């Protein structure tokens, strides 16, 4: 089957206006489609990067998140005696019992948002998360009502600047430092001493979760076996930290993808119809040329193929342009409600190879859908009638 590619390229260049309009429409659709995928991937990437592979999170079974999990002091002591837990130079298990609560902070425009306050063990928290570092100020004093805040919180809320005080559970806590968690979910949190948080929020000896470091990442299965064999821990579960936070992202990412793709499909129908109208117009304007091609020996399949490839090429160009513009969204950070913690999460758009592939495939599908019927019409034209211009 011969395909007149030179003819396709020639006509592609000659009809600039209609081509540009169609390309712009498809580029906008692909931009929205890619942005949706990048948004969902950004949430997931932020939460997954919150965890360390050799850390384990212990929570109550059936809890939707840390704020709905309750672990007693007795259970905390049992977990601390399990094998395969790493120890520091003093021989102390590297564990952080963490009460997690949600507080309210006001933005400069007067809006009130939920922010996570996490109680942590000052002696072990940086061994559990060595990627977290204090970039301004100092670490909080465990004996005082002091907190350090993530960079995302410090940027968004003026009352969290160093030296300021935040009212928590009826008392004022002083902000003494700002930490950088390098784009992870911790950047959207406030940290204070876990005992102070327990006391001020009347938690007794209860915490929301326990985070511990293993001797080695490969020890998780053995640790989990020991964990499961202890009947006192039957109401609790232990998960690798990245896996736990990945699960916390599922509700939000699913919502973003479903809503975004629904909107994108509506837009894509319009873009495909636009491409179809453009190709129908081209078929109508080029009937004599189509007849000439048929008279020169090009079969129906050849004509079908050349018009279909033309539509796909237009759509592909629009897809690449839309993808290119969407890639700049990686420079933007936004905040939204994390349904797993019911608190605000700051994250950036993330572009990965699977998103690029999905966007290109979606553009090709739009081109195929929009170009198939006009291409089929061109292929069915009678040679004699086509040469006569009708």
pTM assigned to the model: 0.77
Mean pLDDT of 326-353: 77
Least confident of 29-33, 50-54, 294-298, 372-376: 294-298
Mean pLDDT of 195-201: 93
- Residue 96 has, within 13 A of its CA and on its CB side, a CA count of 25
Residue located via tokens 């293993």? 214
Q: What is the pLDDT of residues 275-294, one digit of tens each?
A: 777 666 666 666 666 666 66
Residue 227 has pLDDT above 80, yes or no: yes
Count, residues in the chain = 390
Give every CB contact of residue 190 below 8 A, 6+ residues apart in sequence: 103, 115, 116, 117, 118, 147, 148, 149, 150, 153, 160, 166
**What is the pLDDT confidence band of residue 270, given thresholds at 50, 70 and 90?**
confident
Query: Across all residues in the chain, what is the average pLDDT?
Result: 83
Mean pLDDT of 60-81: 91
- What is the DSSP secondary-structure string of 7-70? HHHHHHHH-HHHHHHHHHHHHHHHHHHHHHHHHHHHHHHHHHTTS-TTEEEEEETT-SSGGG--
Dig out the tokens for 389 from the structure: 């211009």
Mean pLDDT of 40-66: 83
**What is the pLDDT confidence band of residue 244, given thresholds at 50, 70 and 90?**
confident
Angle between helices 16-48 and 300-327 (to 10 degrees): 50
Mean pLDDT of 16-22: 73
Residue 8 has pLDDT above 60, yes or no: no
What's the pLDDT score for residue 70?
Answer: 94
Give every CB contact of residue 285 below 8 A, 6+ residues apart in sequence: none
Residue pair 38/351 in contact (Cβ under 8 Å)? The answer is yes
Alpha-carbon distance 290 to 4, whole Å? 11
Between the CA of residue 57 and those of 125, 163, 343, 362, what are the distances in Å? Answer: 13, 32, 19, 39
Residue located via tokens 């950004």? 42
What's the pLDDT score for residue 59?
Answer: 94
State phi, psi for 132 to the nearest 5 degrees. Answer: -90, 130
Q: Locate the domains of the chain by residue range.
A: 5-48+250-387, 62-234
Residue 37 has pLDDT above 80, yes or no: yes
What's the pLDDT score for residue 174?
Answer: 96
280 by Cβ neighbours in 10 Å (0-12 / 13-18 / 19+) ranks as middle
Q: Which is more confidently placed, 123 or 269?
A: 123
Mean pLDDT of 89-115: 88
Mean pLDDT of 310-328: 89
| Residues of the chain above pLDDT 70, percent | 81
Mean pLDDT of 143-171: 91
Alpha-carbon distance 327 to 350, whole Å? 8
Least confident of 224-238, 264-278, 318-332: 264-278
Residue 389 has pLDDT above 60, yes or no: no
What's the pLDDT score for residue 343?
Answer: 62
Alpha-carbon distance 9 to 310, whole Å? 8
Residue 226 has pLDDT above 90, yes or no: yes
Q: What is the pLDDT of residues 342-384, one digit of tens each?
A: 566 777 888 889 989 989 998 888 888 877 777 677 666 666 5
Closest CA to 47 of 291, 195, 243: 243
- Residue 293: enclosing H or E segment and its boundaries? helix 287-295
What's the pLDDT score for residue 113?
Answer: 85
What's the pLDDT score for residue 191?
Answer: 96
What's the pLDDT score for residue 387?
Answer: 55
State phi, psi for 282 to the nearest 5 degrees. Answer: -65, -40
Closest CA to 240 of 56, 46, 51, 47: 56
Q: Which is more confidently placed, 236 or 261?
A: 236
């Amino acid at each position: 089957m011969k395909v007149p590619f030179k003819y396709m390229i020639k006509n592609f260049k000659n009809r600039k206006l209609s081509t540009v309009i169609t390309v712009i429409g498809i580029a906008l659709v692909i931009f929205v489609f890619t942005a949706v995928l990048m948004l969902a991937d950004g949430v997931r990437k932020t939460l997954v990067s919150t965890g360390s592979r050799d850390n384990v999170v212990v929570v109550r079974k059936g809890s939707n998140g840390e704020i709905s999990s309750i672990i007693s002091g007795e259970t905390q002591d049992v977990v601390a005696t399990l094998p395969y837990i790493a120890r520091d130079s003093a021989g102390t298990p590297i564990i952080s019992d963490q009460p997690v609560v949600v507080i309210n902070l006001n933005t400069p425009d007067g809006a009130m948002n939920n922010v996570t306050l996490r109680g942590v063990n000052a002696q072990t928290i940086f061994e559990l998360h060595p990627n977290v570092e204090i970039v301004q100020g100092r670490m909080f004093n465990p004996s005082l009502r002091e907190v350090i805040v993530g960079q995302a919180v410090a940027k968004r809320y003026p009352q969290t600047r160093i030296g300021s005080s935040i009212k928590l559970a009826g008392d004022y806590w002083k902000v003494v430092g700002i930490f950088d968690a390098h784009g992870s979910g911790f950047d959207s949190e406030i940290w204070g001493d876990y005992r102070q948080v327990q006391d001020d929020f009347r938690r007794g000896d209860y915490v929301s979760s326990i985070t511990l470091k293993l001797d080695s990442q490969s020890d998780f299965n053995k640790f989990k076996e020991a964990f499961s064999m202890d009947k006192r821990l039957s109401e609790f579960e232990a998960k690798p930290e990245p896996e736990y936070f990945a699960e916390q992202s599922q509700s939000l990412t699913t919502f973003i993808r479903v809503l975004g793709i629904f909107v994108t499909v509506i837009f894509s129908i319009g873009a495909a119809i636009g491409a179809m109208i453009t190709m129908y117009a081209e078929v109508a304007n080029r009937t004599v040329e189509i007849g000439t091609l048929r008279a020169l020996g090009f079969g129906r399949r050849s004509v079908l193929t050349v018009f279909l490839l033309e539509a796909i090429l237009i759509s592909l160009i629009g897809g690449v342009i839309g993808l290119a513009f969407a890639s700049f969204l990686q420079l933007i950070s936004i905040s939204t409600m994390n349904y797993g913690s019911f608190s605000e999460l700051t994250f950036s758009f993330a572009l990965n190879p699977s998103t690029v592939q999905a966007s290109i495939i979606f553009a090709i599908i739009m081109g195929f859908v929009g170009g198939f019927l006009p291409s089929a019409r061109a292929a069915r034209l009678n040679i004699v009638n086509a040469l006569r211009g009708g």
